[in-house]
Amino acid sequence: MGIRVSNLSKKYGPQYAVNDISFEIQTGEIVGFLGPNGAGKSTTMRMLTCYVSPDTGSATVAGSDIRTEPEQVRRKIGYLPENNPLYEDMSIVAYLQLTAELQKVPKKEIRPRIREMIALCGLTREQHKNIGELSKGYRQRVGLAQALIHDPKVLILDEPTTGLDPNQIIEIRELIKKIGREKTVILSSHILKAVEMTCDRILIINRGELVADDSTENLRRRAKGADRIRLQIRTELNAQDLKALLEDLPTVAEVTPDAGLNQYILDSKPDADIRADVFHFCADKKMVLTEMTTLESSLEDIFRELTISQTES
Amino acid sequence: MNIITICRRELATFFDSLMAYIIMVVFLGLSGFFTWMFGSDIFFVGQANLSVFFNIAFWTLFFFIPAITMRTIAEERRSGTLELLVTKPLSDFEIITGKWLACLLLIVFMLVLTFPYYITVASLGNIDHGAVFSGYLALILISCIYISIGIFSSSLTDNQIVAFILSLSVAFVFHILFDVFASIMPGSLAQISSYMSVNQHFQQMSRGVVAIENLIYLFSITLIGLVMATMSLRRRLWI
Ligand SMILES: Nc1ncnc2c1ncn2[C@@H]1O[C@H](COP(=O)(O)OP(=O)(O)O)[C@@H](O)[C@H]1O
Ligand SMILES: [Mg+2]
């Protein structure tokens, strides 16, 4: 009863914005929809919210078909569109009231429901302000509050954390986690960090095609080989010998010289902890390790690999 | 129910903006000024008559309705809130109709504000209350058409000024051009043009005869405008 998408496609002109995408999301799952700009995330979400129609393929949202029962679908979803459009001239309460009425929340429940949303989304101190006066982080909370007002089964959030500062990102992420426990949530981003911490599962989309669909944990495991560190060593050895020695380490897959003197970038083999090896190697040889930095999170690499290799081909 | 919700929100937005009050003051000022200028003899003749005012208001509405309708959808398109609105469980036709109704209520409100003219003139002599009633009714009925045209124009663009010019141009065709055609075309073409002219219907109705053919005309043009505006919202689905 979550979301079921089968062979969904949508063209703009001659170009596919979304090309034959299929996936399923179960109730209770929080799924990240990851891809670079222009990958087709928003287009997919707009098809799920019945904002645009697919050319081919079908999808059901909480059991309702997006082609034949758009009104049912819209009752069951809470949607936060990209860039979080809001009526700037309205007060928070008036706006939530409007949304509640449009979402057919029973009249008696509207007031308590608004109070509940204001508390849940941390808007209590701002509740009498006009939306136009709010900072970006608070606007995002209002966007979430309107999406949640009718207690929807499915939440569709398009780039909910883009443009926020790091503290706001953490707050919004915590909020999504909290409300996502009994709901089906799909949230998109072009930044891995934004979905990695929140989502149980990640779908990666590139140029309209789904290139990965796996649990965050599995993806991380799969990506282990791409662990990458930079190190600098103070030693009497010449550069060639040092490089050869490093390459001989059992966990090292590749050694690339970097800008500084005796500075290298090391890629590890899959499932191997490269740092312990390097440390012991230096200690044995009585060399001084002056720098050792993890360059990027492993998932970042698989994301880049999946999305770049396709772009080049 | 959805229509009422949309309508209420639209009215609230309108009365929240400074533009609204400017429009209302200028509308009242212009109507009053021209009525006084062209109709000042009524104060001397002692023949209490509001027909000058109704003809002036017919023109001021022609200019002011596009200014009222221009933001209805264009602004939601520009700010992106249209995406939020159309993904709520209500039909596109309800959105259009709600906005149309809000504009109509606004016009009715503005016309109510012109009652002081009526009261002033009535106090001067024997006024034909029936004629006043049909004059106001005729103004409201032709407003239905112009609002519908205005909302359709607003639905085509995300720029309020473009929407304004567009709806004024289309309204111009109904307000003036069909009348011109009616006078230069031969035979049945002239008849058709005359039937299409808002002016012809307005003159008939404000004389106190609201015939079924007037209502059919008003109803169909209004409905065509609303349906076309709805189609323009639904275009997003297919392109
Ligand atoms: N309304 C539209 N008209 C034409 N092309 C569009 C439209 N919306 C999206 N596209 C194109 O479809 C592709 C996918 O866009 P989008 O779904 O917005 O990507 P994302 O949300 O992942 O950044 C892009 O190439 C974009 O230019
Ligand atoms: Mg997008």
Ligand 1 in contact with A285 (CB < 6 A)? no
What confidence score (pLDDT) does residue B41 get? 60
C-alpha distances out from residue A29 to A2, A161, A180, B46, B194, Å = 8, 19, 8, 80, 64
The residue whose CB lies within 8 Å of the most ligand 1 atoms, and thus the one to mutate among A42, A45, A82, A84, is A42
Chain A positions touching B88 (Cβ under 8 A) are: 74, 99, 102-103
DSSP assignment of A20-44 = EEEEEE-TT-EEEEE--TTSSHHHH
Res B215: pLDDT: 92
Instruction: Say yes or no to pLDDT of B69 above 70.
Output: yes
The stretch A33-53 carries a mean pLDDT of 94
Residue A43 CA to ligand 1 centre (angstroms): 6
State pLDDT tens for residues B146-176. Answer: 999 999 999 999 999 999 999 999 999 999 8
Q: What is the ipTM of this complex?
A: 0.88
Which tens digits make up the pLDDT trace of A263-293? 888 887 766 778 888 888 888 888 888 888 8
For A130-165, write each residue's pLDDT tens digit.
999 999 889 999 999 999 999 999 999 999 988 888
Range of the domain at B87: 2-237
Alpha helical stretches, state H, A156-284: 166-179, 192-196, 216-223, 239-248, 274-284
Enter the tokens of residue A3: 């979301």
Asked whether residue A311 carries a pLDDT value surpassing 60, the answer given is no
Alpha-carbon gap, residue A99 to A79, rounded angstroms: 11
The residue-averaged pLDDT of A49-71 equals: 94
Alpha helices per DSSP H over A78-215: 92-102, 107-120, 136-148, 166-179, 192-196
For residue A313, is pLDDT > 50? no
Q: Which amino acid is at A141?
A: R
Average pLDDT, integer, range A176-187: 88
Structure tokens at B102: 């809000």
Domain count, chain B: 1
**Does A279 contact B at CB distance below 8 Å?**
no
B81 touches chain A (CB under 8 A): yes
pLDDT in tens, B19-35: 888 988 998 998 888 77
Q: In this model, does residue A312 exceed pLDDT 60?
A: no
Question: Both tokens of residue B23?
Answer: 């429009």
Assess contact for A67 and A112: CB atoms under 8 A: no
**Of B59, B101, B86, which is closest to residue B226 (Cα–Cα)?**
B101
Ligand 1 centroid – CA A12 distance (Å): 8
Q: What is the pTM of this model?
A: 0.85
Is B205 in contact with B51 (CB distance < 8 Å)?
no
What number is the average pLDDT over the span A71-78?
94
Q: Is A71 on the interface with B (CB under 8 A)?
A: yes
| CA B83–ligand 1 middle distance (angstroms) | 15
Region of A149 please: left (phi>0), alpha (psi -120 to 50) or beta: alpha
Residue B43 clears pLDDT 80, i.e. is over it: no
Chain A: nearest CA to B84, how far in angstroms? Answer: 7
> Is the Cβ pair B12, A94 closer than 8 Å?
yes
Does ligand 1 come within 6 angstroms of the Cβ of A189?
A: no
DSSP label of B210: -
Q: Of A126, A193, A199, A205, which is closest to residue A161 (Cα–Cα)?
A: A193
| Structure-block tokens of residue A77 | 């979803």
Partners of A8 in beta bridges = A21
Condensed to tens digits (0 to 9), the pLDDT of residues A10-20 reads: 999 899 999 99
Within chain B, how many helices (H) and strands (E) appear? 14, 0
Q: Among A52, A72, A88, whose Cβ lies nearest the Cβ of B236?
A: A52
Mean pLDDT, residues A198-211 = 91
Altogether, the residues listed in chain B come to a count of 239
A68 in B contact zone (CB under 8 Å): no
